[in-house]
Amino acid sequence: MKEGPDIAYIAALIGDPARANMLTALMNGKALTATELAAEAGVTLQTASSHLAKLQDGGLLRLRRQGRHKYFSLADSGVAAVLESLMGLAAGAGHLRTRTGPKDLALRTARVCYNHLAGDMGVQVFESLMDRKYLEFRGDELCLSPAGAAFVADFGVDLDGLARIRSPLCRECLDWSARRSHLAGKLGRALLSRFAGLGWARVDKKTRIVHFSPEGEKGFRAMFPVPRTAPID
């Protein structure tokens, strides 16, 4: 019999409530210190220290030292993808930790997932781009078409700059609130930062909610219209 596969090891790491809280807190893409993460998880500092060491050993966290601080962040977007899909499963099975509230609605509408836009508006970006054939699948890979490249360049995204970073340009990420995909990868990140740069939206780092201004919402609707016919799920 094979030894316990690594999948159990990783899942067990996420499976502790305190660690799961820490990881969820890091889903906004920002790095947090050990003390901050201890507060997020609701445990003492020494307990948090032990958890963080385990998460780092498991390769789920990346560490940056700055003076006497230790800043932790998710190791990569793959970790974020796992967390996001886990949220989808848990939400679908009805395992919500708290009742739904107004904050929940805002989270469902627009939130930060790692470093890109998620929620209904994130899904809308993805589907709008897919509908116009700006994004397309080539085999398993999600690609930006020439027309799509022109579109995002015109929108103000520096594609040449992105090309220098060696990680996937476009990636699909499963949304836990809507059960559709939204756009992740370098392009997803660039689009969110462009929304911020245009003054369309600002990110509440605490709650992960993305607040759109009235003008921002208007511009967003113009640039990313919903497809006429809703795609079959």
Partner DNA sequence: CAAATGCTTCGATTAAGGTCGAACTATGAA
Partner DNA sequence: TTCATAGTTCGACCTTAATCGAAGCATTTG
Q: State yes or no: residue 189 binds DNA (CB under 7 A).
A: no
Considering CB under 7 A, how many residues would be counted as binding DNA? 25
Q: Which of 25, 47, 20, 27 is nearest to 36 (CA)?
A: 25
Q: State yes or no: residue 115 binds DNA (CB under 7 A).
A: yes
Q: How do strand 111-113 and strand 69-74 relate by DSSP bridges?
A: unpaired
Q: Which of 6, 8, 11, 47 binds DNA (CB under 7 A)?
A: 47
Q: State yes or no: residue 33 binds DNA (CB under 7 A).
A: yes
Q: Which of 226, 191, 197 is nearest to 213 (CA)?
A: 197
For residues 99 and 158, give the distance between their C-alpha atoms in angstroms, rounded to a whole number: 41
Which residues contact residue 195 at a Cβ distance below 8 angstroms, ignoring those fewer than 6 apart? 117, 201, 210, 212, 216, 220
Helix (H, G, I), strand (E, B) or coil at 136: strand
- Residue 15 burial (CB count, 10 A): 11
For residues 163 and 174, give the distance between their C-alpha atoms in angstroms, rounded to a whole number: 24
Place of tokens 């201004």: 213
Query: If contact means CB under 5 to 8 A according to the sort of partner, which of a second copy, DNA, none does residue 33 touch?
Result: DNA
Query: If contact means CB under 5 to 8 A according to the sort of partner, which of a second copy, DNA, none does residue 45 touch?
Result: DNA
Shortest distance, position 28 Cβ to a second copy, whole Å: 12
Which residues contact residue 132 at a Cβ distance below 8 angstroms, ignoring those fewer than 6 apart? 147, 148, 151
Q: State yes or no: residue 100 binds DNA (CB under 7 A).
A: no
What mask, x for binding DNA by CB under 7 A, covers residues 58 to 97?
---------xxxx---------------------------
Shortest distance, position 99 Cβ to a second copy, whole Å: 9
Q: State yes or no: residue 117 binds DNA (CB under 7 A).
A: no
Q: Which of 6, 8, 11, 35 binds DNA (CB under 7 A)?
A: 35
Q: State yes or no: residue 13 binds a second copy (CB under 8 A).
A: yes
Q: State yes or no: residue 53 binds DNA (CB under 7 A).
A: yes
Window of 85-93, 125-133, 149-157, 214-222 that interacts with a second copy by CB under 8 A:
85-93
- Which residues of this protein are in contact with DNA, per CB under 7 A? 12, 16-18, 33-35, 43-54, 67-70, 114-115
